[in-house]
Chain A
Amino acid sequence: MKTIILFFAFIISISAFANDEKYFAQMGKQVQAVYVAKTIDEYQVAVNALDRIANAEKTKWEPYYYAAYGNIMMAIAEKEGSKKDSYLDLAHTAVEKGKELAPAESELVTLEGFAHMIRVTVDPASRGQKYSSLSMQTFGKALSMNPKNPRALSLLAQMQLGTARFFNQPPTEACETARKAATIFESPTESENPLAPRWGKEMNLGVLQNCK
């Protein structure tokens, strides 16, 4: 009897394992695709695949995360304001779905802030007020969930640098934040999740170039 139970447990675990195998294999491919994409078309193909995985899996937050990331990248690459907005709307929806599955995930909240940040670019004059403060608050929220999230730190540093530049002030605060981010980027803590986000190091170097 015991053997039978063990056997079934075995079979079940193996089939689950096989499913995960497929998930990680596909995700690995698509995350890579979204990292190396350069054009909107390339992003679209990767985001579509991530959307399919998200829809099929239903319980994984990572495909939503990378779909949102891809949509934000498309919004950045896009020139036309209304299209930027529709990509950001999609990013927002994906982040929200991801948050339903992983409410405590600091990385999702960081993307939410990133999307707010890009909203400003559509019309800085009228949106700056709302979205720049919203993005900074959202990065703050991401950092309260995980104070060592280097992406949240680095994006926050960008906002702080912008403020300092505006007032002709030395970017002390921004540099401090960016250095904190850099330290974490340099010595990444081994995540249990092989799909954990890893982007942002180069971007952070960009911020640090202003700190000499």
Chain B
Amino acid sequence: MLHFLKILIKVKNPYLFIVSDRPPRDQTIHPVPSTLQQPILVKPPLARHFRLVIAQNFMIVRLIYLILFSTSLVMVAQSQTRISGFVQDEKGEPIPGANVMIKDSYDGTSSSVDGKLSFISEELGAKILEVTFVGFKTFSQAIQLAGKEIEIQVTLKEEINQLDGVVISAGSFTAGEENRRTILKAIDIATTAGATADIAGALNTLPGTTKVGESGRLFVRGGDGSETRTFIDGMAVLDAYGPAAPNTPSRGRFLPFMFKGTSFSTGGYSAEYGQALSSALVLNSKDIAEMNQTDIGILSVGADVAHTQVWDRASVSGKVQYTDIRPYFRLINQEIDWKKPPVSLESSAAYRQKIGKDGMFKFFGNFNQTSFSLFNHDILDPTIKQQFDQDNYYRYGNGTYQQSLGANWSVRGGVSYSYNQNKLEFDGSPVSETEQGLHAKLVAEHSVSDQLEVRVGSEFYNRNYEVTRYNSNSDTNEALTFTEPISATFVETEYYASNHFVVKAGGRLETNVLNNYTSLDPRLSLAYKPGKQGQFSFAYGTFRQSPQNQYVRIDNQLNPEKAEHFILNYQIITNRKTFRVETYYKKYDQLIKFENGNPNALANTGSGFAKGVELFWRDSETIKNADYWISYSFLDTERNYLNFPTSAVPSFASAHNFSFVYKHFLTALKTQVGFTYSYSSSRTYYNPNKSSDQFNSDKTPAYQDLSANLAYLPKNNLIIYLSCTNLLRHDNIFGYQYSTTPNDQGVYVSRATRQAAPQFLFVGVFITISKNKSVNQLPNL
């Protein structure tokens, strides 16, 4: 679970107190090395082999040398050429500090503050003059040196700089370790209070998401949880969330510490990603590990152990985690009537191997097994209860390979396999549901020039689904099954007109073999950066996704559901502050709809829309040792799908979502504390006591949560961690369930869906053991 602590320490690592923003005092005080102060011509520093040759006849050598030297002086006097001029950029602004040189010689100069240059060269004949400056393309020009002064005007062209130039930011949040432009760092996922080290938990504090407390998934811009698709190293993942009891939040199956970066797109994403209506969550696994280490975690809800072994060109990491929440539940009263609370065993493994000069092979695997058992109580008569058992078996593996082919081409490809089996039992009657998915992908990328890049890829999905149910009346097993092969090809080009304007255009051609449906989806995004920092982005695209399994298993001729995104974004990132505002319009089409309310007669006749405005502000600068961000999302959405009698706000949507995340490192206490406050305005729910024109018109109270966490580092390799959700003990109600039949008075009786427990308290102790003594463990905890 909470591995992130290892990263935590570095948050405010005060390592660099000596290397400050001033040059080391050396520079001014330290005397110039004595040998270098001596006039070298007087006493030449001779390399050893010259000494050998010269020692025998030193005097003669000196003499000849003197002669040679004086003749060359004469020649110099005859052949000096003055080169003068100036260096400017394309706008005519002078460039100071540019390096001006005669190629393959020592001769040259640096341009002055006003861009001027002037120097004398002793070279003769046809030469090449080169001018270089960081951020600009090298200028070169053939010149003839013959003693006659040369005047040059140099205009340097800006280099396309993908680090500081314009980037497409509409709809996308990237979280990485290094890039300063990332809005959320990899470490943030681990250290956000209330996220409990869950990837989705941390991303739910970003704009564009809607808190759906009883689900734990990512609900993006009026889309439901299934509309966000997870990819690991570009390869599809099926069933990315672990099993959870009804109305309790599920956790992502993948631990944040396995990944170096995350790209969370809330819309308008690349043509490379398909089968996702609302959002693509792209996780990039870590590269080769740097050192051998063993990590042990003792948690209030279980234990884990991990080991990493490193070789010269490869590394392997493995981890096993056992979670047993029973002792905790014995202590803290739960809303749920557990027969057997969840017990899970999870292991993951990662293998990385460098191949050749720049090839990289990655394997990632995950295995997970969870079981629990509980009683569902009848709403009308709570003394009537029904037992529900669930066993979940999950396996995921992917292998990817990446290779450059020369300077301008690269290829990458991979295969992934997901297997998910749920064995359920309702009062002793078993249901088994199995989904298997295979995904293969090959992508070639070509840099036509430093301004134009082309990407072409092809991929293939094969998904197999089966559900079997034992029918006690007929004493037979009933099965519903389908196999869905999908093939897709995508092309995308990215053109940097300058460091101020970029456009990315592409398309995705997808064929669903199961129902013979072919679609062509255009994707377009562009960004314009008028000045040094702020930039505007726009994104457009159409997106498709097969309906959820419970519908395809009834009717496998259903067409994919469709969404169309329009996104406009403004973003400004200064050194350690980020401001972002985004507005969007999203149109849903071909949604699954129950014909005449019949859940077995399905058609693609549903539709809907979502629109909204989102704000984000992050500041790691103003308050010393502190970092905070604020996000706000406004969402206006309605849809007419499934059993909706009319267009209505779906029950997972809330109009206003607000998050405030604060982290503070207390150096004296060696402790990081964090707080997260989340607010979600009321959500709709369906009240069967009302007429159908008042469908989903009832509203829950607003959701509020204040969570805190604390990490204390008493020793280099030891972390003690504490976290607690809902400090204010707010009674959050996510919705209401109604009895299936009315009571004696003809009224459908309701029951509120609440959190499983008002608070969740977690304690963990994390120890790292590493043998490498020369390297301190602190950075790797």
Instruction: Give the contacting residue for A163; candidates B15, B23, B96, B105; CB below 8 A.
Output: B15
Chain A hits for B47, CB < 8 A: 20, 192
B41–A126 CB distance below 8 A: no
**Does B774 have its Cβ within 8 Å of any Cβ on chain A?**
yes
Check A136 against B30 for contact (C-beta < 8 Å): no
Listed residue (B25, B715, B776) with the most chain A CB atoms within 10 angstroms of its CB:
B776
* B contact residues, total (Cβ < 8 Å): 88
Q: A41 to chain B: closest CB distance in Å? A: 6
Is B15's CB under 8 angstroms from A128's CB?
A: yes
Asked whether A5 is an interface residue with its Cβ less than 8 Å from the other chain, the reply is: no
Q: Which residues of B contact A41 (CB under 8 A)?
A: 96-97, 113
Q: Is B576 a contact partner of A158 (Cβ separation < 8 A)? A: no
Complexed CA–CA distance, A117 and B13 (Å): 12
A38 touches B50 (CB 8 A): no
A21 at the interface (CB under 8 A from B): yes
Complex CA gap A198/B713 in Å reads: 38
A41 to B20, CA, bound (A): 19
Q: Which of B10-36 contact A (CB under 8 A)?
A: 10-30, 32-33, 35-36
If the complex has contacts A52-B101, A76-B19, A125-B10, are A159 and B776 also in contact, measured as CB distance less than 8 A? yes
Would you call B61 and A14 a contact (CB within 8 A)?
yes
Could you tell me the distance in whole angstroms from the C-beta of A34 to the nearest C-beta in chain B? 9
List chain B residues, Cβ under 8 A from A122. Answer: 180
Residue B511 at the chain A interface, CB threshold 8 Å: no
Contact with A along B434-466 (1 / 0, CB 8 A): 000000000000000000000000000000000
B576 A123 Cβ-Cβ under 8 A = yes
Q: Which of B64-72, B295-303, B727-735 contacts A (4 or more CB under 8 A)?
A: B64-72
Considering the chains assembled together, what is the distance between the CA atoms of A204 and B778 in angstroms?
22
Q: A18 contacts B775, CB within 8 Å?
A: no
Contact: A167 with B715, CB < 8 Å? yes
Q: Is B40 touching A24 in the complex (CB atoms < 8 A)?
A: yes
In contact, B779 and A24 (Cβ under 8 angstroms): no
- Chain A residues near B134: list those with CB within 8 A: 86-87, 90
Residue of B nearest to A173 (CB): B776
A-contact bits for B645-678, CB 8 A (1 contact / 0 none) = 0000000000000000000000100100000000
Q: Is the CB of B27 within 8 A of A14?
A: no
Q: Nearest CB to that of B37 among chain A residues?
A: A32
Q: Are A85 and B163 in contact (CB under 8 A)?
A: yes
Residue of A nearest to B182 (CB): A126
Q: A25-B41, A76-B19, A133-B779 are in contact. Are A165 and B178 (CB under 8 A)?
A: no
Q: Which of B689-724 contact A (CB under 8 A)?
A: 713-716
Contact partner of A199 among B7, B30, B68, B72, CB < 8 A?
A: B30
User: In whole angstroms, how far apart are the Cα atoms of A124 and B28 in the complex?
Assistant: 27
State A127–B260 Cα separation when bound (angstroms). 11
**Is the CB of B99 closer than 8 A to any CB of chain A?**
yes
* Contact in complex: A125, B185 (CB < 8 Å): yes
A128 contacts B108, C-beta separation under 8 Å: no
In the bound complex, residues from chain A placing their C-beta under 8 Å from that of B16 are 117-118, 120-121, 124, 158, 162
Within 8 A of B (CB), among A161-180: 161-163, 165-168
How far, in angstroms, from A48 to B101 measured CA to CA in the complex? 9
Query: Which listed residue, A24, A31, A168, touches B45 by the CB 8 Å rule?
Result: A24
Counting chain B CB atoms within 10 Å of each CB, which of A18, A129, A134, A203 scores highest? A129
Pair A203/B24 contact, Cβ less than 8 Å: yes
| Interface flag for A186 (CB, 8 Å) | no
- Contact among B23, B33, B61, B575 with A73 in the assembled complex (CB-CB below 8 Å): B23
Mask: chain A, 20-54; 1 = CB below 8 Å from B; 0 = not: 11101110100110011110010011001101110
**Chain B residues positioned under 8 Å from A31 (CB to CB):** 33, 36
Our pick among B24, B44, B105 for the contact of A202 (Cβ within 8 Å) is B24
Cα separation A167 to B715 with both chains bound (whole Å): 6
Candidates B7, B32, B180, B775; contact of A129 at CB < 8 Å: B7
Is A104 interfacial (CB 8 A cutoff)? no
In the complex, the chain A residue whose C-beta lies closest to that of B781 is A129
Say which residue of A45, A86, A123, A203 sits within 8 Å of B97 (CB atoms): A45
B21 near A79 with CB under 8 A, answer: yes
A106 part of interface (Cβ distance < 8 Å): no
Nearest residue in A to B780 (C-beta to C-beta)?
Answer: A133
A59 within 8 A of B: no
For residue A159, which residues in chain B have a CB less than 8 angstroms away from its CB? 15, 776
Q: Which residue of A lies closest to B107 (CB)?
A: A52
Residues of A within 8 A of B33 (CB): 31, 35, 198
Q: Are A160 and B776 also in contact (CB < 8 A) when A35-B32, A38-B28 are?
A: yes
Measured in the bound complex, the distance between the Cα atoms of B632 and A16 in whole Å is 70
Residues A124 and B41 in contact in the complex (CB < 8 Å), given A44-B97, A194-B35: no
Indicate if A137 sits at the interface (CB-CB under 8 A): yes
B242 CB → nearest A CB, Å: 27
A81 to B21, CA, bound (A): 11
Q: Which chain B residue lies CB-closest to A35?
A: B32
Q: A127 and B15 in contact (CB under 8 A), knowing A18-B69, A55-B103, A136-B779? A: no
CB neighbours of A195 from chain B (8 A): 36
Taking a contact as CB atoms under 8 Å apart, the answer to whether B18 and A207 are in contact is: yes
**Pairwise interchain contact A125-B187, C-beta atoms closer than 8 A:** yes
- Of the residues B44, B61, B72, B290, contact of A133 by C-beta under 8 Å: B290
- In the complex, which residue of chain B has the Cβ closest to the Cβ of A17? B50
Task: State whether the Cβ of A4 lies closer than 8 Å to any Cβ in chain B.
Answer: no
Interface flag for B321 (CB, 8 Å):
no
Q: Which of A82-114 contact B (CB under 8 A)?
A: 82, 85-87, 90
CB neighbours of A18 from chain B (8 A): 65, 68-69, 72
B32 near A165: Cβ-Cβ < 8 Å: no
Contacts of B11 in A (CB 8 A): 124-125, 128
Q: Which residue of A lies closest to B667 (CB)?
A: A166
Known: A25-B41, A32-B32, A206-B25. Is A56-B106 also a contact (CB below 8 A)? yes
Q: Is B177's beta carbon under 8 Å from chain A?
A: yes
- Mask, B92-135, CB within 8 Å of A = 1, is 00001111010111111110010000000000000000001011
Q: Which 6 A-B pairs have the closest CB atoms?
A: A128-B10, A133-B779, A162-B15, A126-B185, A48-B99, A194-B45
30 of the cross-chain contacts (CB-CB < 8 Å) are: A18-B68, A20-B44, A20-B47, A21-B41, A38-B27, A45-B97, A48-B98, A51-B132, A52-B99, A53-B106, A56-B105, A73-B23, A82-B163, A86-B134, A120-B15, A121-B16, A121-B19, A124-B10, A125-B627, A128-B779, A129-B7, A129-B177, A129-B187, A134-B290, A136-B774, A136-B775, A163-B15, A194-B45, A195-B36, A203-B25
A125-B11, A143-B774, A166-B9 known; 14 other A-B pairs, CB under 8 Å? A10-B64, A76-B19, A77-B21, A77-B23, A81-B180, A82-B164, A82-B180, A126-B182, A128-B11, A128-B13, A133-B779, A137-B775, A162-B18, A206-B25
Which residues of A come within 8 Å of B, CB atoms? 9-10, 13-18, 20-22, 24-26, 28, 31-32, 35-38, 41, 44-45, 48-49, 51-53, 55-56, 73, 76-77, 79-82, 85-87, 90, 117-118, 120-130, 132-134, 136-137, 140, 143, 158-163, 165-168, 192, 194-195, 198-203, 206-207
